[in-house]
Chain A
Amino acid sequence: MTMLPPPSTKKLGLVIDLDICVGCHACAVACKEWNDGGQFGPLPDENPYGREPLGVWFNRVHTYEVEPEENNKPAMTVHFPRSCLHCETPDCVTVCPTGASYKRAEDGIVLVDEDKCIGCKLCSWACPYGAREYSEVRGTMQKCTLCVDRIYNETLDEYDRQPACVMACPTRARHFGDLGDPQSKVSKLVAERGGYDLMPEMGYKPVNKYLPPRPRRDGCAAPTATMQEENVDFSTASPLLRWIDKVLSR
């Protein structure tokens, strides 16, 4: 059914910390590995060992440079993982002609039923975030499942019941939880760090939130006058250093 369910109280999603992501792509690789063998897999590649491999990944990590308007400030490099945001009002669900694309009423996860999908690609056109990738090999659309086959899997240890990308992140830049519960750890993190929505003007109300990079301290990256060796001033240094400077300057 591609009508959206009434808003759920439980809104499972991810919080991604752009301040500490180092762009290592471990999340993307762990995601590909789990989901290739998971309930919604496989994720076949075309021409995997050839010249131009092409295949479905649910997670893509971009790297951007942000140039501040003030000229004297250094540019900032930001690594930016991009995946499905499990939006509250996504058009990718409502445009689906078959009912293959759906949003779960109980926890808000957006999924594709691979047995119903006809591969018309319209849902991928409706998504501004590029969360859906079509598989030529399977003839169907594929997307992030929020590892629904892990997070409810009682055969796994409780600690392991998290999405593969969250488990794999070496810097803990990814957090998983219920963003519909204001008391949850992820909701508190979002409130504390000013977590935000991507492209809010599209009106899709993403559940996933991004935490902004913390502001860089001015001057710690740009070379300044005092850092030039010929300008080092020994008059304020300790007597020992002043003596060494005097001896060596002879």
Chain B
Amino acid sequence: MHPALSVIFFTVISGTGYGLLFLLGAVLAFEPRLLSGNAAIVWLVLGATFAAAGLLSSLLHLGQPQRAWRAFSQWRSSWLSREGVSATLSFVPMLALAWLEWRGVDAQPLRAWAVLLATFAVLTVACTAKIYATLKTIPAWHNAYVLPGYLLLGLLGGAAWMWILHIVDASPVVATPILLAVLAVASAVFKYFYWRHIDAMPPAATAESATGLGRFGAVGGVEAPHTEENYLTREMGFVLARKHAARLRAIALVLIGVLPTLLALLACMTQTRMLEALCATIAVISVTLGLFVERWLFFAEARHVVMLYYAAKADTTQHA
């Protein structure tokens, strides 16, 4: 599948934003008095900015962005519509919490809104994942790994930024580097098993079943319907990434797994504030870059069954 930059940016950045907002919701729900009002507002604004930037970037992917409001209507059947609804509703607990923190109101309503914020953060990222996971036409997405993968990697991005917040005194959670290390290891292991799964997957269909001509023998293309590219071959027939897929996977594992873990452990062993700040900064850059590589691969490596119709004879076994 063609890896559209707007969609990659959207899923990475809004995933990170909602990861951060989920962590804020969780902290406030367990211990509403842990954060000062100002600290909570800084945290909220950062998360909300990421979430909103991602959502706005997803509009760039549309052919008619001025009609985007129509996407709220079909939540009964469409995960994309549900994502739009959930993302918009998630700003309600964000605004409510910002107001409560600003006014310094009681712990009880704060706790309720925090739970709501965490819930909508999870729901929105889950909807994003479901958009991909429900597509039967793309076996690399239509499996049980995609939903937990999106949630885990969103949380990883959030934890990396939470460390930055800790450095600038906006978060009192001292265990953040430990959390980041755990999530980094978990993410890398998870992605490794995801890649192993999609490499071993049986094809969803064959050129023989796509044409129904399998009863007569092996089917191979002689002549394509068009001499130039068309929308289908551009959008679904993206092959550029596969040449370097193995190397890019290794790079992603280092950036989201190995490097953040080492930096977190290094920070735990030293007491120098400067060094910890440096570690946190490198970790957040590493995780973000790693997430971009991972998401780029998620799209570029995914094969769509429609390409079976365009498969040349020698290629039929590799497709879909």
Q: Is the C-beta of B211 less than 8 angstroms from some C-beta in chain A?
A: yes
Query: How far is it, in angstroms, between the C-alpha of A82 and the C-alpha of B207 when the chains are bound?
Result: 13
User: What is the interface residue range for chain A against chain B?
Assistant: 35 or more
Q: What 0/1 readout, one digit per residue, does chain A (37-80) give for beta carbons within 8 Å of chain B?
A: 00000000000000011111100111111111100010111101
Residues of B within 8 Å of A, CB-based: how many? 58
A129 partner, pick from B71, B226, B228, B306, beta carbons under 8 A: B306
Q: Is the C-beta of B259 less than 8 angstroms from some C-beta in chain A?
A: no
Q: Nearest-CB distance from B222 to chain A (Å)?
A: 5
Given known pairs A97-B80, A201-B205, the reply for A140 and B64 (CB within 8 Å) is yes
Given known pairs A66-B213, A196-B212, the reply for A126 and B222 (CB within 8 Å) is no
A64 partner, pick from B222, B231, B232, beta carbons under 8 A: B222
Q: Please, which residues of chain A bring their CB within 8 A of the CB of B225?
A: 25, 28, 57, 60-62, 82
A78 partner, pick from B62, B71, B211, beta carbons under 8 A: B211
Cβ–Cβ contact B205 & A199, under 8 A: yes
Stretch at the interface among B38-46, B129-137, B165-173: B129-137
Given known pairs A54-B230, A68-B217, A197-B212, the reply for A63 and B77 (CB within 8 Å) is no
Q: What 0/1 readout, one digit per residue, does chain B (170-204) give for beta carbons within 8 Å of chain A?
A: 00000000000000000000000000000000001
Cβ–Cβ contact A91 & B81, under 8 A: no
Cβ–Cβ contact B136 & A69, under 8 A: no
Cβ–Cβ contact A98 & B73, under 8 A: yes
Q: What 0/1 readout, one digit per residue, does chain B (54-77) give for beta carbons within 8 Å of chain A?
A: 000000011111011011011011
Query: How far is it, in angstroms, between the C-alpha of A200 and the C-alpha of B218 when the chains are bound?
Result: 18
Given known pairs A97-B70, A125-B135, the reply for A69 and B223 (CB within 8 Å) is no
Cβ–Cβ contact A118 & B64, under 8 A: yes
Q: Is the C-beta of B215 less than 8 angstroms from some C-beta in chain A?
A: yes
Query: How far is it, in angstroms, between the C-alpha of A210 and the C-alpha of B62 when the chains are bound?
Result: 35
Given known pairs A62-B225, A128-B306, A130-B232, the reply for A118 and B67 (CB within 8 Å) is yes
Within 8 A of B (CB), among A75-110: 75-78, 80, 82, 91, 93-100
Cβ–Cβ contact B77 & A127, under 8 A: no
Q: Is the C-beta of A177 less than 8 angstroms from some C-beta in chain B?
A: no
Which 9 residue pairs are nearest across A and B when measured between Cβ atoms? A119-B63, A139-B63, A60-B225, A97-B81, A98-B70, A97-B71, A68-B217, A130-B306, A63-B223
Task: State the B residues within 8 Å of A (CB).
Answer: 1, 61-65, 67-68, 70-71, 73-74, 76-81, 84, 131, 134-138, 204-205, 207, 209-213, 215-226, 228-232, 235-236, 304-306, 309-310, 313
20 more A-B contacts (CB under 8 A) besides A57-B225, A95-B80, A124-B232? Answer: A2-B78, A3-B77, A62-B310, A63-B221, A64-B222, A65-B313, A67-B220, A68-B216, A82-B309, A98-B71, A118-B65, A122-B80, A128-B205, A130-B236, A136-B63, A139-B62, A140-B63, A198-B212, A202-B204, A215-B216
Task: State the A residues within 8 Å of B (CB).
Answer: 1-4, 18, 23, 25, 28, 52-57, 60-69, 73, 75-78, 80, 82, 91, 93-100, 116-122, 124-130, 133-136, 138-140, 196-203, 210, 212-213, 215
